[in-house]
Amino acid sequence: MEGSQPTARMCAVPESPVAVPGSPVRGPRLRSPFARAAVPVLGGIVVIGLIFLGTWLVAMFISRGGADSTERLAPATFSAGSAEARAESIAEDGPILFPGLETTSGERTLVLDHEGDDPLQGWHLYWAYPKDRDPSCHVRQIEGTKTFIDCEDREVLVTELALPPRGVFPEIEDESITIDLRGALQPSS
């Protein structure tokens, strides 16, 4: 042993980087070009799928499994504000249009009108189409008046507009005007 040269000891430490510093276990490494391209794409699809699943579960929880309209999704009443302020606004600028209040689909527009000097009396509600036409004949208001132009370019007074169903009406409570939409939210038979 004398005179012999010291021998180098071989170490079992791998030459490539390790997963955990100081660990002899090597981390997984993708070798083929296909695997290096496909694994991140598949991982992204899985993450997007998990996000979609989480969103769907939250929506199911909020609706509690039902798709019917509820007070949370489609309120049965709409507060239009102070009756006195709305009456003054209508006297100066004409009726107020409320697009899409009657249903969750928002297809039709309601028109709120007021007559007389008492802000607690004389409220009327109409659809924004003429009585003698179907709902596809939308009207547009002549600014500052109670007159509208229909789909055939006819002038139509607010009183010539179609009436909403029986359960849709304006009501006064605590000097505020509320539009009751329960009649429109009921399923048609």
Q: Which two tokens stand for residue 3?
A: 């005179």
How far is 53 from 45, CA to CA, in rounded Å?
12
In a 13 Å sphere around the CA of 39, the CA atoms on its Cβ side amount to: 9
- Diameter of the chain by CA atoms? 124
Burial 104-120 (b: 16+ CB within 10 A, else e): eeeebbbbbbbeeeebe
Of residues 150 and 65, which shows the higher confidence score?
150
The pLDDT assigned to 189 comes to 44
Q: Which pLDDT tens digit goes with each residue over 58-74?
A: 988 887 755 555 555 56
Q: Which pLDDT tens digit goes with each residue over 162-171?
A: 988 887 888 8
Q: Which pLDDT tens digit goes with each residue over 115-126?
A: 989 988 999 999
Q: CA torsion sign, 22 to 23 to 26 to 28?
A: negative
Res. 75: pLDDT tops 80: no
Per DSSP, the three-state class of 91 is: helix
Q: Provide, rounded to the nearest whole percent, the portion of the chain with pLDDT above 70.
A: 75
Domain ranges of the chain: 32-67, 77-185
**Spatial strand order in the sheet of 123-127:** 96-99, 109-114, 123-127
> Could you give phi then psi for residue 18, rounded to 5 degrees?
-105, 160
Res. 186: pLDDT tops 90: no
Res. 48: pLDDT tops 90: yes
Q: CA torsion sign, 54 to 60 to 64 to 65?
A: negative
| CATH-assigned architecture of domain 77-185 | 3-layer Sandwich (2.102)
Q: Which of 7-11, 33-37, 57-61, 110-114 has the lowest mean pLDDT?
A: 7-11
